[in-house]
Amino acid sequence: MATVVKLLLSFLLNFFTAFVIVRFIYYPKTKDREYVFTFLTFNTVIFFVLSLLGSINLSVGFGFGLFGIFSVLRYRTNPIPIREMTYLFVTIALPVMNSILVSDNGFAQVLLANLLILLVLFAVERSWGFKFVSRKTIVYEKIELIKPECEQLLLDDLHERTGLTITGVKVGQIDFLHDTAKLEISYFEDGVSA
């Protein structure tokens, strides 16, 4: 009976950590149902497979085998965005770590490791301490402003039209027939300069 209680408690801890990562850190940014399903399902199944294997050596080998399989799948299937691949890696690594530490009676270590993973993901996802620049390509019709000597006028016009704090502009393809140019604008995501 003690083994069943231990398995249930370790599953609840593992699933709670995975749920917090997926629901409160990943999901608010993407709202992507497909990946939410994948992350939580992978996490649960891998946890039970590793927990029921029993042997720590077998669990570690199996965990690294899963990483190998998914790195091969990465190149054989439709590309998964790097952000989603990172979350997939975390949701695969969590049950490997949790099943090994719980089977080794390291509940304090499991709690601390899960808490630290949550804190790091939360901090990184919220961009604490970072200012990120986004880029967009636009078609611009005031072709007279793309000259190097008119750079400030161009930046002012783009800011007025978009409301974004533009940090840079690259002039791409120029269409003199239609008096347009493709510009790649760089701007701070939150609209505020660093």
121 and 137 housed in the same domain: no
**Considering only CA atoms, which of 157, 100, 122 is closest in space to residue 17?**
122
**DSSP-derived pairing of the beta strands 180-188 and 166-175:** antiparallel
141 belongs to a structural domain = yes
| Residue 83 shares a structural domain with residue 37 | yes
- What is the domain count for the chain? 2
The per-residue pLDDT for range 64-101, each reduced to its tens digit, is 676 676 666 655 666 778 788 888 888 888 887 887 76
The residue assigned the tokens 């636009």 is 138
pLDDT at 175: 94
Give me the pLDDT at residue 151, please: 93
* Residue 71 covered by a domain: yes
Residues 45 and 80 in one domain: yes
Report the distance separating Cα 181 and Cα 43, nearest Å.
Answer: 48
Tell me: do 25 and 65 sit in the same domain.
yes
Q: With respect to residue 26, please indicate whether it lies within any of the assigned structural domains.
A: yes
Report residue 16 as tokens.
């709670």
Retrieve residue 134's tokens.
């986004």
Domain stop point among 125, 141, 159: 125
Give the structural domain span for 178: 133-188
The answer to whether residue 137 sits within a structural domain is: yes
Higher pLDDT, residue 35 or 105: 35
Mean pLDDT: which of 20-34, 46-60, 124-138 is highest? 20-34
Task: Report residue 137: phi and psi, to 5°.
Answer: -100, 130
In a domain, 194, yes or no: no
Q: What share of the chain in percent tops pLDDT 90?
A: 34
Residues with Cβ < 8 Å from 41, sequence gap 6 or more? none
Q: What is the pTM (predicted TM-score) of this model?
A: 0.64
User: Is pLDDT at 144 greater than 90 in this prediction?
Assistant: yes
Residue 164 in any domain: the answer is yes
Q: Given a cut of 80, is residue 35 above it in pLDDT?
A: yes
Residues 112 and 137 in one domain: no
Rounded-to-5 percentages of helix, strand, coil across the chain: 70, 15, 20
Are 76 and 32 in a shared domain? yes
